[in-house]
């Protein structure tokens, strides 16, 4: 049997910029910010008064009864998966034993967990919803999508904090590559805009506290960056084995070339300043894809807007790509979406697929003064045209725990 290739045939997203891929992508190219002041009273408990909530509430996209049994993260997963499945042409007649789901979340159903703890304290054990456990389990988003599609090849949830979404896509890629499945619905979601996780991130000094200008707060690579902005939502891709996608006449966006996975062995939360693990992950992703640094024209960076992380990543990219970094248009889309944690690598992969399709690298906003330590070519303020012909792009994602995931995508 010849080598199995993996292609993207469907996209879905619900993000702070829009309730679907097209709306999100247009807002992204226009350089809009999805960050807003929180309206809840609890914001006063925190040093941070803003976040990037989804643009369209799940309540406007699904049935009420369905919603009450689903954690918000599961709602995002279903909304984005339905869009992606439809975009893939709703291939409902495929063999369900060859259909899988790999959807990640960084934290899982944390809002359900905390809400039900309040119920327990106020009403006793009888007041705790029988849906609590299926709602809070981190595999809940994948499980619910798997149930809806009746997927039987396997339903999985890799967890690696903010690298989870990218790791899920890599896992899905491997499942198809290794002939466990022909089609996988994959991505990542997060629903953690809540006072407890926000207080936790704030205690680490990880969040921006630019309360007087929330839409200017997420500013990757700017000298005055002071932390990330928490976002929510999710992104989903339909990955498919190339020959079977062609055989059913599917619209094919691009190819997933391969992935590189490493770990730092350095610190639970801080990035390795040498970025050695990131460099190796890039090398492995290129090797797995049969690409060289010359082929890469675009990279959607992890770049969360933290003082240490952005420079460590930029240095690692420069070292890994060498002189070829000069022709890599680097986009830090968290400047507009905020940081979706376990959803980040997934929406950013959706953005890469759109960038390859439309040959446009989205901008990075809010860079008033580029940090002089950043020596990569950052796309600022307006989109940049990508070259014609065969091109490739990378998505890198990192997570607390020292997880490094790099995905390579190739035009077809």
Partner 1 sequence: MALSPADVLSGIKEIVEEVAGIPAASIELDKNFTDDLEVDSLSMVEVVVACEERFGVKIPDEKVTELATVGDAVNFIVNAAA
Minimum CB distance to partner 1 smaller for 96 or for 131 = 131
Minimum CB distance to partner 1 smaller for 27 or for 78 = 78
Q: Which of 58, 66, 50 lies closest to 14 in space, CA to CA?
A: 58
The interface with partner 1 within residues 199-228 (CB under 8 A) comprises none
Residue-wise DSSP of 61-116: TS-HHHHHTS-HHHHHHHHHHHHHHHHTT--TTS-GGGEEEEEEESS-SHHHHHHH
Residue of the chain from 3, 63, 122, 212 that contacts partner 1 (CB under 8 A)? 63
Residue-wise DSSP of 273-300: TT-HHHHHHHHHHHHHHT--GGGEEEEE
Using the contact rule CB under 8 A, the part of the chain among 58-66, 77-85, 88-96, 189-197 near partner 1 is 58-66
C-alpha–C-alpha distance, residues 314 and 282, integer Å:
13
Please, what is the minimum distance in Å from the beta carbon of residue 126 to partner 1?
A: 6
327 has catalytic annotation: no
Task: Using DSSP, state whether 17 is helix, strand or coil.
Answer: coil
C-alpha–C-alpha distance, residues 29 and 304, integer Å:
18
Lay out the site mask for partner 1 across 117-136 (x = CB under 8 A, - = otherwise). ---------xx-xxx--x--
Residue of the chain from 26, 68, 205, 294 that contacts partner 1 (CB under 8 A)? 68
Please, what is the minimum distance in Å from the beta carbon of residue 129 to partner 1?
A: 7
- How many residues bind partner 1 (CB under 8 A)? The answer is 12
Q: Does 86 bind partner 1 (CB under 8 A)?
A: no
Using the contact rule CB under 8 A, the part of the chain among 62-70, 78-86, 245-253, 352-360 near partner 1 is 62-70
Residues 221 and 242: beta-carbon distance below 8 Å: no
Q: Which of 4, 7, 40, 21 lies closest to 412 in space, CA to CA?
A: 7
What is the pairing mode between strands 99-105 and 154-156? parallel
Minimum CB distance to partner 1 smaller for 131 or for 327 = 131
302 has catalytic annotation: yes
Lay out the site mask for partner 1 across 255-294 (x = CB under 8 A, - = otherwise). ----------------------------------------
Beta-sheet strands, E only, within 164-295: 183-190, 233-241, 254-263
The interface with partner 1 within residues 385-404 (CB under 8 A) comprises none
Please, what is the minimum distance in Å from the beta carbon of residue 64 to partner 1?
A: 7
Q: Does 1 bind partner 1 (CB under 8 A)?
A: no
What is the pairing mode between strands 296-300 and 392-399? parallel
Please list the helix, strand and coil fractions of the chain in percent, rounded to the nearest 5, in that order.
Answer: 40, 25, 35
Q: Does 64 bind partner 1 (CB under 8 A)?
A: yes
Using the contact rule CB under 8 A, the part of the chain among 57-65, 107-115, 219-227, 329-337 near partner 1 is 57-65
- How many Cα atoms sit within 13 Å of 328 on the Cβ side? 28
Please, what is the minimum distance in Å from the beta carbon of residue 131 to partner 1?
A: 6
Minimum CB distance to partner 1 smaller for 1 or for 65 = 65
Q: Which among 156, 194, 302, 403 is annotated as catalytic?
A: 302
What is the pairing mode between strands 183-190 and 99-105? parallel
Return phi, psi of residue 194, to 5°. -160, 150
Please, what is the minimum distance in Å from the beta carbon of residue 67 to partner 1?
A: 10
Cβ-based neighbours of 297, under 8 Å, separated by 6 or more: 327, 328, 329, 386, 387, 391, 392, 393
C-alpha–C-alpha distance, residues 230 and 334, integer Å:
10
Using the contact rule CB under 8 A, the part of the chain among 64-72, 140-148, 210-218, 224-232 near partner 1 is 64-72
Minimum CB distance to partner 1 smaller for 64 or for 150 = 64
156 has catalytic annotation: no
Q: Does 66 bind partner 1 (CB under 8 A)?
A: yes
Please, what is the minimum distance in Å from the beta carbon of residue 60 to partner 1?
A: 17
Q: Which among 156, 162, 194, 298 is annotated as catalytic?
A: 162
Largest Cα–Cα separation, the chain: 64
Minimum CB distance to partner 1 smaller for 70 or for 379 = 70
C-alpha–C-alpha distance, residues 29 and 58, integer Å:
24
Please, what is the minimum distance in Å from the beta carbon of residue 325 to partner 1?
A: 53
> Which residues form the catalytic set?
162, 302, 339
Residues at the site binding partner 1, with contacts judged by CB under 8 A:
63-66, 68-69, 126-127, 129-131, 134
């Amino acid at each position: 049997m010849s080598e199995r290739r993996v292609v993207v045939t469907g996209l879905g997203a619900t993000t702070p910029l829009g309730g679907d891929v097209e709306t999100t992508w247009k807002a992204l190219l226009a350089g809009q910010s999805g960050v807003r002041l929180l309206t809840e009273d609890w914001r006063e408990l925190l040093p941070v008064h803003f976040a990037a909530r989804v643009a369209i509430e799940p309540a406007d996209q699904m049935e009420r009864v369905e919603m009450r049994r689903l954690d918000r993260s599961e709602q995002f997963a279903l909304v984005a998966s339905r869009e992606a499945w439809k975009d893939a042409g709703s291939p409902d007649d495929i063999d369900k034993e060859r259909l899988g789901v790999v959807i990640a979340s960084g934290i899982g159903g944390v809002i359900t967990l905390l809400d039900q703890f309040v119920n327990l304290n106020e009403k006793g054990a009888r007041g705790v919803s029988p849906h609590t456990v299926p709602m809070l389990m981190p595999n809940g988003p994948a499980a619910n999508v798997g149930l809806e599609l009746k997927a039987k090849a396997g339903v999985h949830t890799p967890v690696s904090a903010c690298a989870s979404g990218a790791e899920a896509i890599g896992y899905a890629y491997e499942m198809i590559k290794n002939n466990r499945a022909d089609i996988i619905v994959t991505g990542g979601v997060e629903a953690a805009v809540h006072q407890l996780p926000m207080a936790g991130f704030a205690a680490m000094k990880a969040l921006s506290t630019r309360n007087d200008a929330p839409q200017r707060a997420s500013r990757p690579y700017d000298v005055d960056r002071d932390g990330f902005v928490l976002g929510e939502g999710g992104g989903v891709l339909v990955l498919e084995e190339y020959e079977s996608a062609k055989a059913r006449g599917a619209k094919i966006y691009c190819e997933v070339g391969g992935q590189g996975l490493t770990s730092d062995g350095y610190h639970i939360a801080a990035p390795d300043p040498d970025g050695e693990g990131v460099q190796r992950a890039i090398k492995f992703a290129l090797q797995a894809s049969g690409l060289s640094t010359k082929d890469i024209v675009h990279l959607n960076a992890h770049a969360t807007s933290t003082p240490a992380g952005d420079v460590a990543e930029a240095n690692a990219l420069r070292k890994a790509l060498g002189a070829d970094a000069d022709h890599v248009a680097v986009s830090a889309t968290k400047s507009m979406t905020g940081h979706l944690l376990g959803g980040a690598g997934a929406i950013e992969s959706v953005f890469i697929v759109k960038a390859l399709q439309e040959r446009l690298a989205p901008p990075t906003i809010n860079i008033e003064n580029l940090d002089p330590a950043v020596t990569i070519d950052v796309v600022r303020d307006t989109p940049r045209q990508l070259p014609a012909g065969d091109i490739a792009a990378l998505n890198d994602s990192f997570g607390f725990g020292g997880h490094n995931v790099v995905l390579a995508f190739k035009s077809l």
